[in-house]
Structure 1
């Protein structure tokens, strides 16, 4: 029997995706979205088009995710179902933005190109940081202790390779995806393929990767094709041929806007925005009671929580506790968009990440995690006057740097040092600062097992499978993870 009334707690991208897919699966059910902010979409809605001074035209500035990889079928499905194909802009795999990525090592001016597997590796400066890890990984056999069921990425890379490689490459990678500390992040939750390859290669990751048989590759391809049948992709796949990443002409906020527009047109969906939930109680007659600070209580039969796990922990009743909602820490991120009145000030590429300094996090590099070269990969978003040239970058700060220095002169000085420029950078035309508090969770080792126990608790103990907990704190932090969570929620109802 279809749920009578579904309440969705949280109107970010996960909550919107949940409402969209649940309304299609249960067209007769009432759905109520409750969101404490005035707008829906969460971090993905932080997009705006800004007019440049002097009649130079306009640019898109974003404080959230900039691009999506075409491997996410759930997002491609939304592009198809929402009719967004004409709004897509793509970065080809052949472009410098797809092929060239860089890394800054604190204490050394400039940025290093991350080498690809070719002869150029022999004279790449980063080889001094990479080679120790590769060398030890190739000669070491199985060395995972029997009692280790999970560990941090840094522990994993050090055990298999070398601590220098783990610090430089591992920390930079985690900065770019999770804005977190690689010494804390669960390798199995964040990078499960590494764990699988270690087992397949009897310890050696590279051996596990290189020894995949033709039959295994064909089986993987068949599985991907079979999985793709679950999605209504239309002709969108053709758009993704040869694409590295993609976005939309007016930014990633387009996805949140179109989802919101589709949802609000549905007469069975009610949206309570600017509404904070104060308590979640059990109601013997109706199922649940959700109290808010500005509306009458909501009485759903089923609930989808897309809230951060600590926020959910604050509202559940003491009589029906749920485990592990406060185990994982959350990180805050500051994004600063900067538009310069000049041609490109950086080498052609996607951008660069900053690795953890030796020792521990300090005030080094103003707390910068990485910089994206938006003019290189997303120039199609900008409507510039004829002959006008600009450079647009986004600087990401914070995460494990608990007190980043976001003052613009400080950020510009560090950016100049990173790019190894003798002269100061030109005065920006436009800047925009976005503060995202506690926006990205860090799944600690053991996360997968803890989430299984949380799922077990929700299946009984009075919850009886009528509430599902999803979102970045449970599954993954990418746009694809969030949208996929919304697509698959409530399958057992």
Structure 2
């Protein structure tokens, strides 16, 4: 989309709520679509980047990095192309490193069950070893016949609008072992969530759509092998063509040969580069330590509600932002919220469905050991399924990442670096959480029991990430359809939403949402853009 200049850009005053990856990306693309608009970014803390948080830790006479949030990005999805294009525009492509698809960190993924690490199919072993594992490991019990069962089962009833991941998998494959042992572990790694609550329609949309089109996942797979392809959304195809034209040959090579990529100096390289660009832009202003306390929309007819205890000054056709200092509200022609859905729901009474979007809390424990040969296996790490009873998982652990094998550059200090993830849906009912000392003790206890690591780490960093991963529970699509309607009727499309609460929890998803909301506002200056157009029934494309 070409930048929109002229008087319209001069009149625009745009607020962006939140300085995480979604807010920063939105602001970046707004500067390209509206080069003359005044853009104000509100951030409630004293740092930018949100959950992307690379920490540098002293180890003896040198330093190492710990990732307290996301650590790798996937290169194969459409949203990945958007990220790679952004990286190139920011001039940090030389900071990217990738894991070759044949490397152990790419191929070897483990699940802990019932009392040891089990290498998943596709790992760096012979075909005979993999077949032996499928037939002898308890984790795979009943899975050999699962595809046959799935092929013969009827498709879902058209009246079924959504269901949980566990319900879908059990209904399709009739093998609870696969659901409880493998699918639950995967969802622990991505969402830290409960598969009895997570929506298959929202979390595993391709599988939901395949069943609708082909009645069977295995039937579709066989047709794909024979050369039949699924129908693709025209908007998706257009975006893919645009992005593929932009990326370089080296990026295309990486997409075809990499399993994941990250940055040589940590994931914060990306957010810092976006922030540096924005700080150098003459029309961008940051308001740090500013917690927004209310968002409202005024119209000339005065048909608007005042948000609880806040006084809003009347101003036609503008969004108003009330900040934590109880100052008079700032006036904007558009507002983009990159805040968590539940936080936005407290700022206005007009988006009630957002109150139901829960988020999981995860404690991240980073540990560094001097011995570089501490791990007996090579790979990305391992996940822990819900089938491991809490008596055997008292730490409520979700999984462990082998960071020293995952990172694309060698550490300046020889050693072993791992990250233990605790909590998630296991902690949903907790009224308080373990402190840093308790978290470190639990992580060390887990590593001792699972991996036989008895030595003390040289460095430990504990971070409690409260409400960090939104949970797309059953009915998520319907909630967002309702929110889209309210954004149009109560805010006239002047308030848009982006971020992990809505259309994907990954970094790539958030960057793509930021690009699309800026383009949407440029393409629809009168109607506005909510950020939830995908959920309209029927869809607008």
The answer to whether the superposition gives a TM-score over 0.5 is yes
Question: Equivalences for 1:267-306 in 2 at 5 Å?
Answer: 267-282=282-297, 283-285=314-316, 287-294=318-325, 297-306=329-338
For residues 94 and 337 of structure 2, the distance between their equivalents in structure 1, rounded to whole angstroms, comes to 33
Question: Equivalences for 1:67-216 in 2 at 5 Å?
Answer: 67-71=72-76, 72-105=80-113, 108-116=114-122, 118-124=127-133, 127-139=137-149, 140-142=152-154, 144-161=156-173, 162-203=175-216, 205-212=217-224, 216=228
For residues 276 and 222 of structure 1, the distance between their equivalents in structure 2, rounded to whole angstroms, comes to 39
Query: CA 1:377–1:150 in structure 2 vs 1: closer, same or farther (change >3 Å)?
Result: same
Is the CA contact 2:162–2:201 (under 8 Å) kept in the aligned structure 1? yes
For residues 233 and 29 of structure 1, the distance between their equivalents in structure 2, rounded to whole angstroms, comes to 28
For residues 219 and 197 of structure 1, the distance between their equivalents in structure 2, rounded to whole angstroms, comes to 10
For residues 142 and 230 of structure 2, the distance between their equivalents in structure 1, rounded to whole angstroms, comes to 33
For residues 240 and 11 of structure 1, the distance between their equivalents in structure 2, rounded to whole angstroms, comes to 29
Q: Alpha-carbon deviation of 1:217?
A: 4.5
Is the CA contact 1:334–1:433 (under 8 Å) kept in the aligned structure 2? yes
For residues 225 and 352 of structure 2, the distance between their equivalents in structure 1, rounded to whole angstroms, comes to 42
Question: Equivalences for 1:355-370 in 2 at 5 Å?
Answer: 355-357=385-387, 364-370=393-399
Is the CA contact 2:319–2:494 (under 8 Å) kept in the aligned structure 1? no
What's the secondary structure of 1:43's corresponding residue? coil
Q: Counterpart in 2 of 1:253?
A: 268
1:430-464 per-residue CA deviation (whole Å, 9 max, x = no partner) reads: 11111111111111112112212211221123x11
Q: Alpha-carbon deviation of 1:338?
A: 0.4
Determine whether 1:35 maps to 2:57: no
Q: Alpha-carbon deviation of 1:290?
A: 0.8
Is the CA contact 1:10–1:306 (under 8 Å) kept in the aligned structure 2? yes
1:184-225 per-residue CA deviation (whole Å, 9 max, x = no partner) reads: 10011011111123234423x122112116654498799977
What's the secondary structure of 1:310's corresponding residue? helix
Which structure ranks higher in relative contact order (CA pairs < 8 Å, sequence separation ≥ 6)?
1
Is the CA contact 2:44–2:289 (under 8 Å) kept in the aligned structure 1? yes
Query: CA 1:122–1:224 in structure 2 vs 1: closer, same or farther (change >3 Å)?
Result: same
What's the secondary structure of 2:356's corresponding residue? coil
Q: Alpha-carbon deviation of 1:167?
A: 0.8
Q: Counterpart in 2 of 1:437?
A: 466
Query: CA 1:68–1:293 in structure 2 vs 1: closer, same or farther (change >3 Å)?
Result: same
For residues 410 and 271 of structure 2, the distance between their equivalents in structure 1, rounded to whole angstroms, comes to 17
Query: CA 1:466–1:220 in structure 2 vs 1: closer, same or farther (change >3 Å)?
Result: closer
Determine whether 1:393 maps to 2:398: no
Aligned partner (choices 13, 16, 22) of residue 8 of structure 1? 16
Q: Alpha-carbon deviation of 1:39?
A: 0.9
For residues 485 and 383 of structure 2, the distance between their equivalents in structure 1, rounded to whole angstroms, comes to 39
Is the CA contact 2:97–2:408 (under 8 Å) kept in the aligned structure 1? no
Determine whether 1:313 maps to 2:345: yes
Query: CA 1:242–1:224 in structure 2 vs 1: closer, same or farther (change >3 Å)?
Result: farther
Q: Which runs of 5+ in 2 are unaligned?
A: 1-7, 298-313, 526-541
Query: CA 1:286–1:222 in structure 2 vs 1: closer, same or farther (change >3 Å)?
Result: closer
TM-score between both structures, scaled by the size of structure 2: 0.82
For residues 488 and 442 of structure 2, the distance between their equivalents in structure 1, rounded to whole angstroms, comes to 51
Q: Which runs of 5+ in 1 are unaligned?
A: none
For residues 397 and 339 of structure 2, the distance between their equivalents in structure 1, rounded to whole angstroms, comes to 27
1:317-359 per-residue CA deviation (whole Å, 9 max, x = no partner) reads: x4xx124111122110111110011023220101000001356
Aligned partner (choices 358, 381, 384) of residue 354 of structure 1? 384
Q: Counterpart in 2 of 1:244?
A: 259
Determine whether 1:230 maps to 2:238: no
1:219-253 per-residue CA deviation (whole Å, 9 max, x = no partner) reads: 87999775333334345334444111111111001
TM-score between both structures, scaled by the size of structure 1: 0.90
Question: Equivalences for 1:403-418 in 2 at 5 Å?
Answer: 406-418=438-450
| More displaced stretch, 443-452 vs 335-344 | 443-452
Q: Alpha-carbon deviation of 1:297?
A: 2.6
Query: CA 1:143–1:68 in structure 2 vs 1: closer, same or farther (change >3 Å)?
Result: same
Q: Counterpart in 2 of 1:64?
A: 69
Query: CA 1:221–1:300 in structure 2 vs 1: closer, same or farther (change >3 Å)?
Result: closer
What's the secondary structure of 2:353's corresponding residue? coil
For residues 273 and 381 of structure 1, the distance between their equivalents in structure 2, rounded to whole angstroms, comes to 35
1:412-443 per-residue CA deviation (whole Å, 9 max, x = no partner) reads: 12212222x2xx52111111111111111111
For residues 225 and 444 of structure 1, the distance between their equivalents in structure 2, rounded to whole angstroms, comes to 28
Give RMSD over aligned pairs: 2.4
Question: Equivalences for 1:48-63 in 2 at 5 Å?
Answer: 48-53=55-60, 55=61, 57-63=62-68
Aligned partner (choices 490, 498, 515) of residue 487 of structure 1? 515
For residues 321 and 392 of structure 2, the distance between their equivalents in structure 1, rounded to whole angstroms, comes to 43
| More displaced stretch, 238-247 vs 326-335 | 238-247
1:279-329 per-residue CA deviation (whole Å, 9 max, x = no partner) reads: 22333346122111236531101111111111111111x4xx124111122
Query: CA 1:362–1:39 in structure 2 vs 1: closer, same or farther (change >3 Å)?
Result: farther
For residues 233 and 473 of structure 2, the distance between their equivalents in structure 1, rounded to whole angstroms, comes to 31
Query: CA 1:115–1:238 in structure 2 vs 1: closer, same or farther (change >3 Å)?
Result: closer
For residues 9 and 156 of structure 1, the distance between their equivalents in structure 2, rounded to whole angstroms, comes to 36
For residues 184 and 165 of structure 2, the distance between their equivalents in structure 1, rounded to whole angstroms, comes to 9
Is the CA contact 1:341–1:426 (under 8 Å) kept in the aligned structure 2? no
What's the secondary structure of 1:209's corresponding residue? helix
Q: Counterpart in 2 of 1:471?
A: 499
